[in-house]
Amino acid sequence: MAYMAMARKWRPMSFSDLVGQDHIAQTFRHAIEGNRLHHAFLFTGTRGVGKTTSARIVARTLNCTGGSTLEPCGKCPSCLDIGTGNPMDVIEIDAASNTGVDDMRTLLEQTRYTPMIGKYKVFVIDEVHMLSKHAFNALLKTLEEPPSHVIFIFATTEANKVPPTILSRVQRFDFKRISNRQIAERLQYICTQESIQADSEGLAIIADKADGSMRDALTYFDQVYAFSGAELSNQAVRQVLGIPPESIFFDMVQAIFSHDQKGCFDIIDQACGLGIELSILLDGMAKFLRNLLYSRVSGLSANALEVTESHFKQLQGLAPDASNGDILRLGKILAETHFQLKTASNPRLLVETSFARMAWLDRVADLKKILQGFDGPGTAETVKKKILRSPAPVSDPPPPPVPTPATILPTLAPLPVAPSPAPTEEFSISFGDEPAPAGPQVSKFELVNQWKTVQKDFCQMEPLAGAYLDGTVLQRGEYNISPFAVKIIFRADNAFNFNQFTKSEFYKATLTDYLETILQTKVLVHIEPLAPSAVDATASPSPLVPRQSAPHASTWERDKSREPILQFLSETFEVTWLDSKSVRRIQRPSQNDQPVDE
């Protein structure tokens, strides 16, 4: 006897066999029992969840003349006829290959004839959304007034593509995705019936790989069965389906959180050696991280994650030092890598660099802790010393081609501290998971110190507004508050610039846009003048901020800092200073804003 695939052999024959779609079985039972059967149905849901199978069950149940109302007997003429695979009273067409109006007319022609054996003639149209507009119109007429012996069942994966005129004339059933547990249970049932020895982990892997589709699960099951025979182990399942062993992910997470980049490369090499596809490796890693994260959330059990109890315990004990934020960050990189994989010219290199980048990441978390030190009194200097003392953060392996770690405070002169022989602290700023912004490389941590450079760059774009900002200083906001607050303080003796800059909302908006572009974050700009008495005391609000102008600046320098137009001219036209004379501006309420001699 020819071998019959499991998917065919174990196709459900009645509603009680149907896995995971109890709500549909129940509705049909009630409709049949109460004799309130609609004449047209739409079955919608993802592939492999039992839509066409259900359509056949409906046909079988309605036409069976033996047995009970709800369980087809399998022996009566109708059941036997449907069992032949080419039944007379069930007409199935695939709309994907019969899209035209002529195909539809041929089909509808048959609705005129009464059923040969059973009570109903059942028309099953698979992938109904593929029908042409004219075909739908032809169908519509019959759908409005169908003969009493006709039942239509439409199956589709894309109900949104079915015209509303059709949708309003059918009873719709949404098929659920079948859970991994339900699939595994069905597979276990089949194993028992077929005398196959299978371990539950192996079946769980098949169920997971099937991703909600019973048909896929049975196809995979067949594949493994053909390979391993009646002894179906989880190793065989992994080998046949190319699923990485869980130990790979445990090792990978450990390598990542102990910054072991070589370890990461070795694990990727090992996976490739086992014939595991890179996309499956990334997928598996993403699922593993998701489970790792969920295992830490209280209230979730091994059952909820659909993993074994021992696996769950192992997850809970893994990487105790890693925060949930760290795990989420890894997930983000994985998702990016998965996306880039489709177009990568060298997929393995891409995956290797991504994992190396993850192994690199923890230092970002360390730095955040350090930066909190900036808020504490007296700690800023210590932190600055540490950063300046620390050489390049690279240890053994070469850095991966990811955004280069920016050095902090590049313009500050090294402080007179004794250089430590071997750096014990490893500090660097690597905003590895952010794409490098266009424009100058400035982070929000550096902004206060880099303000002068930023302002000059802004000047290139918006000369006048940029020039008005000359001589201003910054007070930084909290780094972890969004939007990032940037407070720009105008010197008290620079009221003119302040007035000019604040006169137009446009300047502030342009500056905000500019800062958002270079910092790659949402920015809120505050503009403030300083009270005259406060100038000297607070001209440098942070110990890291150099004073913006020396007290004994030349007249020209002073005037330049006061008058943006002079600054602008000197920078644009290479003006040479010969002489300048200070004048006092008289602030009048009127528009007459003329300078007068002192």
Least distance (Å) between residue 244 CB and Zn ion: 47
* Element housing 465 (H / E): helix 463-468
Spatial separation of the C-alpha atoms in residues 332 and 433, rounded to whole Å: 8
Mapping DSSP to helix (H, G, I), strand (E, B) and coil, where does residue 529 land?
A: strand
Task: Find the binding residues for Zn ion in span 359-418 (CB under 5 A).
Answer: none
Query: What's the DSSP call for residue 15?
Result: T
Least distance (Å) between residue 184 CB and Zn ion: 31
Nearer to Zn ion, 79 or 124 (CB): 79
Query: What type of residue is 428?
Result: S
Least distance (Å) between residue 80 CB and Zn ion: 8
Least distance (Å) between residue 12 CB and Zn ion: 15
Stretch that binds Zn ion, among 75-83, 395-403, 480-488, 565-573 (CB under 5 A): 75-83
Spatial separation of the C-alpha atoms in residues 470 and 564, rounded to whole Å: 7
Spatial separation of the C-alpha atoms in residues 585 and 420, rounded to whole Å: 54
Nearer to Zn ion, 49 or 79 (CB): 79
Nearer to Zn ion, 119 or 177 (CB): 119
Least distance (Å) between residue 121 CB and Zn ion: 16
CB 156 within 8 A of CB 162: yes
Count of helices and strands (H, E) across the chain: 26, 10
Residue 8, token pair as written in the block: 């065919």
Nearer to Zn ion, 79 or 356 (CB): 79
Q: Across-strand partners of 121?
A: 150
* Element housing 149 (H / E): none
Cβ neighbours of 258 (radius 10 Å) = 12
Stretch that binds Zn ion, among 63-71, 241-249, 305-313, 510-518 (CB under 5 A): 63-71
Least distance (Å) between residue 77 CB and Zn ion: 8
| 24 interacts with Zn ion by CB under 5 A | no
Stretch that binds Zn ion, among 59-67, 381-389, 440-448, 474-482 (CB under 5 A): 59-67
Cβ neighbours of 164 (radius 10 Å) = 7
Nearer to Zn ion, 61 or 455 (CB): 61
What are the C-alpha distances in Å from 531 to residues 105, 451, 537?
Answer: 87, 21, 11
Query: What type of residue is 165?
Result: T
| 73 interacts with Zn ion by CB under 5 A | yes
| Interface with Zn ion (CB under 5 A), residue from 64, 196, 203, 448 | 64
Residue 227, token pair as written in the block: 């390979």
Stretch that binds Zn ion, among 73-81, 304-312, 349-357, 439-447 (CB under 5 A): 73-81
Spatial separation of the C-alpha atoms in residues 580 and 598, rounded to whole Å: 14
Least distance (Å) between residue 149 CB and Zn ion: 18
CB 119 within 8 A of CB 61: no
| 13 interacts with Zn ion by CB under 5 A | no
Least distance (Å) between residue 189 CB and Zn ion: 23
| Interface with Zn ion (CB under 5 A), residue from 31, 32, 37, 76 | 76
Among 337, 397, 332, residue whose Cα is nearest residue 364: 332
CB 187 within 8 A of CB 215: no
Residue 229, token pair as written in the block: 């025979």
Nearer to Zn ion, 81 or 246 (CB): 81
Least distance (Å) between residue 28 CB and Zn ion: 16
Stretch that binds Zn ion, among 6-14, 58-66, 251-259, 312-320 (CB under 5 A): 58-66
Give the orientation angle of helix 200-210 with respect to helix 180-194, to 10 degrees.
130
Spatial separation of the C-alpha atoms in residues 483 and 167, rounded to whole Å: 46
Instruction: Specify the length of the chain in residues.
Output: 598
| 302 interacts with Zn ion by CB under 5 A | no
**Greatest Cα pair distance in the chain:** 116
| 66 interacts with Zn ion by CB under 5 A | yes
Compute how many residues bind Zn ion; rule: CB under 5 A: 6
Nearer to Zn ion, 76 or 88 (CB): 76
Spatial separation of the C-alpha atoms in residues 256 and 263, rounded to whole Å: 8
Nearer to Zn ion, 32 or 380 (CB): 32
Cβ neighbours of 248 (radius 10 Å) = 19
Spatial separation of the C-alpha atoms in residues 289 and 514, rounded to whole Å: 37
Among 548, 503, 508, 546, residue whose Cα is nearest residue 526: 508
| 72 interacts with Zn ion by CB under 5 A | yes
Stretch that binds Zn ion, among 61-69, 237-245, 254-262, 327-335 (CB under 5 A): 61-69
Least distance (Å) between residue 355 CB and Zn ion: 58
Stretch that binds Zn ion, among 60-68, 219-227, 295-303, 337-345 (CB under 5 A): 60-68
Stretch that binds Zn ion, among 37-45, 77-85, 111-119, 302-310 (CB under 5 A): 77-85
Query: What type of residue is 532?
Result: P
Nearer to Zn ion, 18 or 79 (CB): 79
Least distance (Å) between residue 163 CB and Zn ion: 36
Nearer to Zn ion, 89 or 362 (CB): 89
Spatial separation of the C-alpha atoms in residues 124 and 140, rounded to whole Å: 15
Least distance (Å) between residue 54 CB and Zn ion: 17
Nearer to Zn ion, 67 or 163 (CB): 67
Least distance (Å) between residue 59 CB and Zn ion: 11
How far is the first Cα of the chain from the last one, in angstroms, to the nearest whole number? Answer: 114
Task: Find the binding residues for Zn ion in span 320-359 (CB under 5 A).
Answer: none
Task: Find the binding residues for Zn ion in span 78-97 (CB under 5 A).
Answer: 79
Stretch that binds Zn ion, among 57-65, 317-325, 464-472, 583-591 (CB under 5 A): 57-65
Interacting residue ranges for Zn ion, rule: CB under 5 A: 64, 66, 72-73, 76, 79
